Homo-oligomer: A and B are copies of this chain.
Amino acid sequence: MADLNILFTSAGRRVSLLRSFRRALDELALPGSIIAADAGLSAAATFVADEKAQVPRIDHDGYIDALLELCDAKSVRALVSLVDTDLVLLSENAQRFEQLGTTPLVCSAATNRICFDKVSTHAFFTDNDIRTPQVLSDAETEGLSSDDFPVMVKPWDGSGSAGVHVAANAQELAFYRDTTPNAMVQRLVVGDEYTCDAYVDFSGTVRCVVPRRRLETRAGEVSKGLTVRDPVIIDAVTDCVDKLPHAVGCMTVQCFKTRDGSVEFIEVNPRFGGGHPLTIHAGANFPKWILQELTTGQCDASFDCWTDDLVMLRYDAEVITQGSLIR
C-alpha cells in the first residue's frame, strides 16, 4: 500500500490533534507521515509532526499552487485544513487535488460558503427551520428598549470569538457598532453553550455527534469542557448537519440549550475545532475513522461509541527550540 501521508495546513498550535492522527496511523498499522504546514515558521504543531513545510499565506495568490506542489512532492493522500479562511478556496479547487491522488477533506463549496459568513449562516438556519437567535435589522436595533439588553455585536465575517462583544446598554451598543467592522447585532441566548462534533462519513451520512458543554473559555476557545449525551442536542445537530449540502468529515457546531429545553444554533465550522481532542479522548476517534474510510471505504463510527460525562481541562504545554529555526 502507498504511504498514507496526511497534510495539515494552518497547523498552528494543533499539537494534540496531530498526535491523535499519528496514533491512529500507528493503531491501524498504516505506513505514513503527518506533515504540518503553516505560513509562519513558529507554529508549535510543525515541531511535533513527522515533517514540516512552510506555505504562503492563505491570502497570497500562490497558496493553492504551493499546496498542490507539496501534495505532489510528498505523495499526500489527504489534506486537512485547520482554519476557516481557506475552506471555500480549497473546495473550489478540490478536483485539482483529486487529480494528484490527494483527497481534500473539505465540504462542498456551497456548505463552506454558508458557514463562512454569519449572514449566510443565519439565512441557512432560518430557511431550514433551524432555531437561531434573531439578527436585528438597523431599524430593530434602533428600536431596542432597555429591557432588550444585553445583545451581541459581532463582525459577520469574523472567526471564533474575534470581535464579539456583549453590549449591556445602548451606550455600549453604539460604541461596539462604531468600532466593529461589518457589525451585526444579534439577540443574546441564555443557556448552556455546547460545541458539538459531528462526524459525516464520505457518503454524506451523519454517523456520530458528541456534544461538549463549555464550562470555561479562554481567548475565545474552550479551556474546560464536558461530554454530555443529550439526545435532544444530538438529534438537533444531526438534523442541522443533514441539511447542509454535502458536508463531510468533522463538522463543529456551536449551539445553546436554553432553559426551556430548546436548542438554538449559533454557527457551524466545517473543520476540526480547537476543543476536538476531548471527543477523541472520549472514544469518538474521528482521525481513525477518516483513515479507515480512506483505506477501506468503511469506518467504525457510531452514535454510542463515546464516554459520557468526561472532562477536558486544558493547560499550556510548550515546544522548546532554537531561535534560528523560527527566523
* CB of A47 to closest CB in B, whole Å: 7
Q: Contacts A172-B179, A316-B315, A317-B15 hold; do A310 and B281 have CB atoms under 8 A apart?
A: no
A318 at interface by CB-CB < 8 Å: yes
Chain A 85-104: CB-based contact to B (< 8 A → 1; otherwise 0): 00000000000000000000
> A215 contacts which of B42, B274, B310, B315 (Cβ < 8 Å)?
B42
User: A312 at the A/B interface (Cβ < 8 Å)?
Assistant: yes
Give chain A's interface residue range (CB within 8 Å of chain B).
35 or more
With A179-B172, A218-B219, A219-B218: A313-B277 Cβ-Cβ less than 8 Å: no
Neighbouring B residues of A323 by C-beta, 8 Å: 226-227, 309-311
Selected contact of A314 from candidates B13, B216, B277, B310, CB within 8 Å: B13
- Provide the residues of chain B in CB contact with A321, threshold 8 Å: 310-311, 313
Does A278 count as interface, using CB distance less than 8 angstroms? yes
Chain B residues with Cβ under 8 A from A274's Cβ? 316
> A152: CB under 8 A from chain B?
no
Q: Which of B14, B227, B281, B319 contacts A318 (CB 8 A)?
A: B281
State the Cβ distance, A38 to closest chain B Cβ, in Å.
11
Q: Which has the most chain B C-beta neighbours within 10 Å: A175, A179, A221?
A: A175
Is the CB–CB distance between A320 and B314 below 8 Å? no
Name, among A13, A219, A310, A317, the residue most crowded by chain B CB atoms within 10 Å (CB to CB): A317
**Shortest beta-carbon contacts, A-B, top 10:** A317-B317, A309-B323, A219-B219, A13-B315, A44-B313, A44-B315, A15-B315, A313-B319, A281-B320, A314-B316
| 5 other A-B residue contacts (CB within 8 Å) besides A15-B315, A278-B318 | A45-B315, A277-B318, A311-B320, A312-B320, A315-B319
